[in-house]
Structure formats: structure tokens, C-alpha cells
Amino acid sequence: MKQFLSPLCLGLLALAFAFPSIGHGAAPKAPPTPTPKFTTVIKSISADSLTVTSGQKNSITYKVDKYAKFTLNGQNVKVDELKSGMRVNVTQGGTDGKTATEISATAAPKATPAPAAAAAPAKTPAKTPAKKTP
């Protein structure tokens, strides 16, 4: 009996390693769907109101709290230093969820100018060798 069980166990182990997915029943996982990245930018801003747009062109208007904190590139600023087109993160407060208590902006990225074509070097007239007189 011992001689019969040893080859049987070895055969079952070989089958288990040859077909590891048998009995698991799990389908292969699909790759994760990338989440879209939206940039929120200031559409308009005043001392009491802020309107922002996201990458989907949705607009949201917030009431600006009278004690709101404003930062630009990490530095404390006044509200009038924030301009339309700047990227912004808004911290919401209040019971309505539409009151901005902190507005943190970064300057809009500057468009990099296209490199100017290199100017062709000026052509200098070819010098003709001087004639020697005998």
C-alpha cells in the first residue's frame, strides 16, 4: 500500500504545479482604469466670491469666508493678488459646503516660447589670392 500512495502523491503534486489555476475560479483582473486628472483654475475672484473651473469645464462658485486665508506659491497674500487662470486648491468650510475658508493658488504656468531658429552665419566674401608679380 505504501508503494502505491507514493507515486499517487507525486502524480497529484505534478498536476497541481502543472495547472495552478484549476479550482481557483478567479478570472484574470482587468488593468485599472486611469483616473482623469483635472486642474482647477480660478475663473473669477473677489473679496466675497470665488468661481473655479475644472478640466471638464464645470464651474463652481464659492462664498469667500471673511476670515479666509489666501496663499500664492505658499506665501500669504491678499485676495487681490490672486488672478484668473491661476491653479487653485479650495478648502471648504461652513455648513453649506460652498464657503471657501482657504484658497491656495499657484501661478499659471508660463508658456515657454519656441526656440528661435539659429541665425545663419553671415557669408564673408571669399578672398582671392593676390597675384604675384615677377
Show the domains of the chain with their CATH numbers.
41-106 (2.40.50)
Rounded to a whole number of angstroms, the distance between the first and last alpha carbons of the chain is 122
Q: What is the mean pLDDT of the chain?
A: 76
Q: How far apart are CA 87 and CA 40, in angstroms?
A: 6
At 73-104, the pLDDT tens digits run 999 999 999 999 999 999 988 788 889 999 99
**pLDDT score, position 62:** 93
**pLDDT score, position 39:** 75
